[in-house]
Amino acid sequence: MYKECELVRHHMSQTITVEGMSCEHCEQAVEDALEGVDGVMSAEADREQERAIVDGDVDPQALVGAVDEAGYDAAT
């Protein structure tokens, strides 16, 4: 007899602080930068809350670096 195995991946959700976003274009630029990081499943930036929520298994410093590279100030 064979047993069926199901691989379940757990994705972490992380929130980082992002300063410098002033419009929807800024939010999209931050989301694009974050989604370009290996391991990121999705990202949602919120300029009013000055944060981004990222789903995926990724080093927080990689997220900060990507946002900084995009021209915004980020911190964990």
* Count of CB atoms situated within 10 Å of the CB of 26: 17
Question: Both tokens of residue 7?
Answer: 């691989």
What is the CATH number assigned to the segment(s) 13-75? 3.30.70.100
Question: Both tokens of residue 13?
Answer: 């959700």
Question: Both tokens of residue 60?
Answer: 């927080």
Return the domain boundaries, the chain: 13-75
pLDDT tens, residue order, the chain (76 aa): 555 545 445 568 999 999 999 999 999 999 999 999 999 999 999 999 999 999 999 999 999 999 999 999 999 9
Distance CA 55, CA 11 (A): 6
If you search the block for the tokens 């990507």, which residue do you land on? Answer: 66
pLDDT score, position 70? 98
pLDDT score, position 34? 98
pLDDT score, position 3? 54
Residues 34, 42, 75, 64: what is their CA dihedral angle, to the nearest 10 degrees?
-30
